[in-house]
A and B are shown apart, each in its own frame.
Chain A
Amino acid sequence: MGLPCSPVVTQRFLDVARTITYKKGMPNQRIIYVPHPVSGRPAEVVRNHLLGNDPVTGKPILDELIAALTKPLNAEEKKTGFVTRPARPRLLDPDTPTNLQRMMSKNGWTDGLPIVLPTEERVAAMLKGTSHGRDEIVGTMRPSPPHEAWEYTVEMVAANAVMAGAQPEHFPVILALASTGVTSLFSSTTSFARMVVVSGPIREEIKMNGGIGALGPFNEANAVIGRAWTLISKNLGGAIAGETYMGGQGNNLNYNNVCIPENEEALPAGWKPLHVQKGFKPGESVVSTFTGWSLINHAGRAARDKEAFKQLLVSLSASGMGMGGSQAMILLDPLVARDLRESFDTKEKFSAWLIQNPGAPTGSPGFGSAIEILVVGGEANPCLTIGDFTYVSSASIDKWR
């Protein structure tokens, strides 16, 4: 703008504010801090904050605001040029496996669980899972729009895939995920979760599980692909707790990002697989991402009574889940899907019928369609899982074979 400007930020976001202004090339930005929180607080409380002292500097807030706009710039504040950033070595300093595990965990480069160390040999083996060269740029990722984007190559993604415990046959899926540039660890204080759904022939090729226990810890491919996305989001996408990730309580779903294949073989006649709904051919292998916060397992009346679905959706919306109840996703066990097929010959018709009802999710701007329907599960019980997730993007896995 070319105008003197000063941001006012609550104290809790000190590290975030300093990080963002530094990475935007304004390391000396004159930021004023007020006590936290202010949102929704009584006006009198906020007024008293403003008449008091900056909790970081101890100086009167009003004096600081005036000074921020009027005190002449010093030499540092007038500087131009580039900030020197540490060089990125390709290899870390050699150390014992025990020390490397501890170092990586301490630095926040893992999910807190032991990782498989990315030695040259293991990464070379992983790279055999793709025809793409190790130095090819896969994409960039940032924790959220204000933050800087980090760039990464096929080799960097391979290192994280090794760390997650993946095998070379999983690598095209992981590369496809990385190519979306979508982080699994979004910055928001509301603690977002993500979901990843794999579609097409690759599900069988790499033996993913869309049957009994699909959402649980019972399958290597489901586990390591979801885990790799978390590690990629930290190490290649810049998600750092307290600095660029501010989820107040965090979200347990982030460990694996609900990585599942759709049980396409169990889809009722006329119900298209997810990737076909998104414009891909049935024979293509595709990875899709979703964003939301929560999943609820429901084995109640709605699973046997389509009218009860309406009540379930309205309850979800009324509870405020998912951006004030604007979005939803339903994972149907094949038993439930078959029952619903008697009334709805496509997923879209079922979704449209649900949205008609007052109080049902209707979508929100920028967050895509209101209700996504997937079929997953092993027909042990006519259950369903409902959540406040909405579709984000899809990417071809075949491109990365």
Chain B
Amino acid sequence: MQGGKAVKKRINQTLIGIMLVAGILAATASLAQEAKVAVLNPRGALPLIRLVPMAPRLDTLDGKTVYLIAASFAVPLMPELQKVMAEKYPKTTWVLKNKPGSYFDDDPALWAEAKEKSSAVIMGVGH
């Protein structure tokens, strides 16, 4: 009887010991988790974007002149487009214009010419 009580006591002590160790391990693991930090936003400030309303569309292209403007790397895209459009839509005048310089470069003279002499523009940017 006494031997049984001693065994029981030893088992209880062992269980308590295991629970203590488990508790310590859990607490340690919790402490080892990274703490959160705040950092500054490295990104720049985005500018405002003002909406540019699109120009009204044409009722028809018949009888109109359309400029086909070829920017950098748009050969042979735009020359071929001129041929195809002239074949398929012969009632429209398709004028091919090469934009000098790179597609980065503004060309106010070309835009002014397009506005004066055409009713619409298709601009090809190649690659």
Q: Does A4 contact B58, Cβ atoms closer than 8 Å?
A: yes
B77 touches A46 (CB 8 A): yes
Q: Are B51 and A36 in contact (CB under 8 A)?
A: no
* Pick from A73, A145, A152: contact of B57, CB under 8 Å: A73
Q: Are B43 and A235 in contact (CB under 8 A)?
A: yes
Number of residues from A at the complex interface, CB < 8 A: 90
Query: Whole-angstrom distance from the CB of B71 to the nearest CB of chain A?
Result: 9
Q: Does B14 contact A (CB under 8 A)?
A: no
Within residues 101 to 120 of chain B, which ones have a CB less than 8 A from any CB in chain A?
103-105, 111, 114-115, 118-120
Known contacts A50-B80, A96-B36: A38-B126 contact under CB 8 Å:
yes
Tell me whether A95 is interfacial, beta carbon within 8 Å: yes
Which of B39, B47, B76, B115 lies in contact with A43, CB distance below 8 A? B76
Considering the complex, give the chain B residue whose CB is closest to the CB of A25.
B52
- Count class of interface residues, chain B: 35 or more
**Which residues of B from 53 to 107 have beta carbons under 8 Å from A?**
53-61, 66, 73-81, 83-85, 88-89, 103-105
Q: Tell whether, in the assembled complex, residue A26 and residue B84 are in contact, meaning their CB atoms are under 8 Å apart.
A: no
Q: In this complex, which of B58, B111, B119 has the most chain A Cβ atoms within 10 angstroms of its Cβ? A: B58
**Residue in A22, A28, A38, A96 whose Cβ sees the most chain B Cβ within 10 Å:** A38
A110 nearest in chain B by CB position: B42
Of B36, B42, B58, B78, the residue contacting A159 (CB under 8 A) is: B42
Interface residues of B (CB under 8 A from A): 33-61, 66, 73-81, 83-85, 88-89, 103-105, 111, 114-115, 118-127
State the 10 A-B residue pairs at the shortest beta-carbon distance, nearest first: A150-B44, A96-B34, A236-B44, A83-B49, A145-B104, A39-B73, A25-B52, A94-B36, A159-B40, A5-B121
Q: What 6 new A-B contacts, CB under 8 Å, besides A43-B79, A100-B39, A145-B105? A: A3-B115, A7-B125, A8-B123, A37-B126, A120-B40, A158-B40
